[in-house]
Each structure stands twice: as C-alpha cells, then as structure tokens.
C-alpha cells in the first residue's frame, strides 16, 4: 500500500491501493475513487462489483492505483486479504490442499502481471521482478515435481486480460510438458513470452477494440504483435526468445497469420506453443456461457479439427490426447477415421 495520504478540497484523506490487489467481479467493501486532474472521482460504491472489464480499462489507461478513504483503509486491507485467499482457495479446491504453495505462486505472478500491464511503457524494474517470480515458479514445479495435470488446472474463470495472459502461460507450460520439454530456462522463456504475448493489445483503446467493424480495429490487431515485441525489445535482458514469442504468436502454420505471414518451420517453436494456447483460451472464452465441460470441449475441437491451417499438425497430434485428458474430463471422442 502507498503510505502517502492525499487530501481533497474538503480535507478528506485518501490512500492509494494498487489495482493489482483487486480481484475481478468481487463485491467491494468500500467506495473506491480515481485521482484525475487533482480531483477525486468516485468510481464505484460500496456493494458494487469491480468487473474484469473495468480492470482492463485501468490497464488501458495506465492507471496503477485506486484510492480509498483513509478511514476505510484497515477495512479494505482486510477485505483484500480475504478476497485473495478466496481466489486461491477456489483453485486449491480443484487441485488439492497439497498444492496450495503452487497456487499462491501463480497468484503472485498474476498480481505482478497487472502491475506490468498498467505501465505506459514496460518498466525494466517491474519486468525484472516478474521474471524473478517466473523463474521461481518454474524452479518450484521442477523441484517439487508438480504433476503436469495440476499445471493444466491453474486457469482462471475470469475474462480479464491479465487472467487471459495467465491462462495462456499455464496452458503453454502444460503443452510444453506434454511435448517433453524439461529445460528450466526454456520453460521460463516460454512462460514469460506467454505472459507478455498481448502487451501490445493491452494498449489498444477500448472503443477501437470493441468495434470490430471499424477499420482501425483490423489495423490495431494486425499491429499489436510487433508493437508489443518492439516495446519488450527495449528492456535490457529480455531474452530474444521472449520477443519472438510476442511477435509471432499470431502466425499460422499455413502462412495466413500475421504480422509477417510466416509459414511452417519459419515460425519459432515456442511461439507455435503459445499460439495454440492463445487460441484455445480464446475459444474457451467465446463459449463462456456454456457449462464448463462443454466450453472446454468446444475449444478442444478447434484444435483437433484444424487440419494444419493454424497449427502445426505434428504438435496437435502429440498433444491432443493430453489436452483432452486435462480439459475434456478424460473423454476424447473417436477420430473421424474410427467413427
């Protein structure tokens, strides 16, 4: 928390709370405010929900802090602790109490991802802290021999951009483990690239992003991989592999992707993995109103029925059974050849 106390014209005292500490779609315990042009504007009332799209709005506008009245600070701090524990417990109920440390580490990364995304330009210090957390997480899953099936379950049901980044990172990690990747340094670069893959998209204005009929939308989407990779390349010590993942995560096996229209083996191997995970998580989101089992099966079918258009068919063949075991509730429908 920020210890600095600010006052408004009526001498009311406000304290900043990082946006990264707030959880999407939770009922607020107090009024929250934005500090704009030296004025405090009430953004949400106590009892309202802070929707995931509002958190994305803060990211787009580079808003890192929300303000609360100083008199409510102790209550807010306790509420934030409870909400954090609630989010962690929801995942622990899926994976088991023995993996609570693993879940806590992913939640730490999620919060740091929000801090990273909220910067107008990537901040080298924040990126370094994020990289440290990623390295620690990869070392943890290897040292503690965390089963890949547990990694597969570390996905969020929120549709915020930060949670999408986390989902893509964890699905990418699961796919890489299915493929037999065991080098910690490689896994760390894959995870970091997946977390940052949509940084360029984060800064597209909401009115453009939500209007797919607008010519600006198509141009912005086409440009975001290069925009993101260009920003990342300015940060010292960001590996070239991470930058390649960011730039190539929308390339397609048949050459119909963007921004360069790369084809087959011209696409970086780790970028192919992140591309699969990205499309998979987007497909889950597109089917979010369906029951959990149905939305995951719909996303799995997008992979299985691709036939070498978007995805490397050799990769799909190698991971298909494992993906169905993890996300299709151990049910894989017969192939067309066996039907």
Whichever domain contains 243, its CATH number is 1.10.3210.10
For residue 88, being part of any structural domain is answered with no
Residue numbers of the domain that contains 45: 5-82
For residue 334, being part of any structural domain is answered with no
pLDDT in tens, 24-60: 999 999 999 999 999 999 999 999 999 998 999 898 8
Instruction: Give the H/E segment covering residue 188.
Output: helix 184-196
- What is the reported pLDDT for 207? 85
Beta strands 13-18 and 65-69 are: antiparallel
For residue 90, being part of any structural domain is answered with no
Which residue, 24, 57, 82, sits at the end of a domain? Answer: 82
pLDDT in tens, 227-248: 999 999 999 889 999 999 999 9
pLDDT in tens, 264-322: 999 999 999 999 999 999 999 999 899 988 999 999 999 999 999 999 999 999 999 99
DSSP 136-183: HHHHHHHHTT--HHHHHT---S--SHHHHHHHHHHHHHHHHHHTT---
For residue 182, being part of any structural domain is answered with yes
Which residue, 29, 48, 82, sits at the end of a domain? Answer: 82
Question: Same domain, yes or no, for 59 and 102?
Answer: no
Q: How confident is the model at residue 339 (pLDDT cuts 50, 70, 90)?
A: very low
DSSP 195-256: HHTTHHHHTS-HHHHT-TTSHHHHHHHHHHHHHHHHHHHTSTT--HHHHHHHHHTT--TTS-
For residue 212, being part of any structural domain is answered with yes
The rounded distance, in Å, linking the Cα atoms of 223 and 165 is: 18
For residue 336, being part of any structural domain is answered with no
Question: Same domain, yes or no, for 174 and 283?
Answer: yes
Question: Same domain, yes or no, for 43 and 158?
Answer: no
- What is the reported pLDDT for 332? 56
For residue 332, being part of any structural domain is answered with no
Order of strands, sheet of 32-36, starting from the edge strand that comes earlier in the sequence: 5-7, 13-18, 65-69, 32-36, 39-44
For residue 142, being part of any structural domain is answered with yes
Question: Same domain, yes or no, for 76 and 124?
Answer: no
Question: Same domain, yes or no, for 123 and 146?
Answer: yes
Which residue, 59, 82, 105, sits at the end of a domain? Answer: 82
Question: Same domain, yes or no, for 185 and 240?
Answer: yes
Residue with tokens 């509730």: 329
Q: What percent of the chain lies above the pLDDT cut of 90?
A: 82
pLDDT in tens, 134-153: 999 999 999 999 999 999 99
pLDDT in tens, 140-186: 999 999 999 999 999 876 778 889 999 999 999 999 999 999 999 99
Report the predicted TM-score, pTM, of the whole model to 2 decimal places: 0.93
Question: Same domain, yes or no, for 134 and 19?
Answer: no
What total number of domains does the chain contain?
A: 2
Question: Same domain, yes or no, for 133 and 109?
Answer: yes
Question: Same domain, yes or no, for 21 and 102?
Answer: no
């Amino acid at each position: 928390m920020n210890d600095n106390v600010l006052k408004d014209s009526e001498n009311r005292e406000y304290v900043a709370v990082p946006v990264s500490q707030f959880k999407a779609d939770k009922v607020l315990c107090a009024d929250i405010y934005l500090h704009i042009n030296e004025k405090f504007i009430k953004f949400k009332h106590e009892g309202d929900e802070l929707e995931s799209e509002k958190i994305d709005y803060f990211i787009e506008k580079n808003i890192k802090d929300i303000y609360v009245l100083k008199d409510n600070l102790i209550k807010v701090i306790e509420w934030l602790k409870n909400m954090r524990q609630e989010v962690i417990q929801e995942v622990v109920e899926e994976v088991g109490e023995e993996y609570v440390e693993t879940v806590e580490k992913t939640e730490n990364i999620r919060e740091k991802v929000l801090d990273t995304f909220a910067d107008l330009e990537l901040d080298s210090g924040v990126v370094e802290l994020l990289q440290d957390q990623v390295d620690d997480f990869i070392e943890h899953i290897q040292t503690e021999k965390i089963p890949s099936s547990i990694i597969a379950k570390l996905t969020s049901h929120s549709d915020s951009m930060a949670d999408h980044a986390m989902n893509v990172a964890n699905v990418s990690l699961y796919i890489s483990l299915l493929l037999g990747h065991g080098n910690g340094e490689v896994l760390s670069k894959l995870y970091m690239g997946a977390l940052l893959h949509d940084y360029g998209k984060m800064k597209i204005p909401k009115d453009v992003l939500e209007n797919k009929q607008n010519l600006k939308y198509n141009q912005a989407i086409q440009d975001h991989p290069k925009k993101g990779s260009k920003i990342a390349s300015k940060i010292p010590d960001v590996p070239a592999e991470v930058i390649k993942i960011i730039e190539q995560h929308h390339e397609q096996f048949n050459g119909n992707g963007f921004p360069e229209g790369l084809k087959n083996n011209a696409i970086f191997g780790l970028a192919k993995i992140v591309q699969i995970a990205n499309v998979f998580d987007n497909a889950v989101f597109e089917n979010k109103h369906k029951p959990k089992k149905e939305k995951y099966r719909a996303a799995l079918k997008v992979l299985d029925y691709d036939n070498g258009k978007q995805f490397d068919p050799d990769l799909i063949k190698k991971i298909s059974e494992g993906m169905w075991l993890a996300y299709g509730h151990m049910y894989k429908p017969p192939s067309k050849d066996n039907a």
